[in-house]
Amino acid sequence: MMKTTTSNDGTIVYNYQKGQPLPPGRWASAAMPTLAVVGGKSPDWMRYAMSELAGILPNAKHRTVEGQTHIVKPEALAPVLVEFFEG
């Protein structure tokens, strides 16, 4: 049986979806550039999670796309991605 990306994602994040703070030192060596994006109309827990994730990853940026839900529209997301990738 082939696993989907969603099932892999679930396996990876399962233990971190219990309302506990993320261990701050766990990803200290994860130096890859990371963009944590969330819609401004997303649920509070989702907005908080993206902010916290960006706060513990050493090379992360956090962006909120105002007026968007969890399913950010491509035309709203595109400028955020361009800014991130162009640095």
What 3-state DSSP class applies to 50?
Answer: helix
What 3-state DSSP class applies to 54?
Answer: helix
**Residue reference for tokens 């701050």:** 24
In the chain, domain spans = 31-87
For every one of its 87 residues, what pLDDT tens digit does the chain have, with 9 covering 90 and above? 455 556 676 777 777 777 777 777 888 888 899 999 999 999 998 999 899 889 989 999 999 999 999 999 999 999 999 999 998
The pLDDT value recorded for residue 3 is 52
Residue 36 to residue 53: CA distance in whole angstroms: 7
The pLDDT value recorded for residue 37 is 95
The pLDDT value recorded for residue 4 is 54
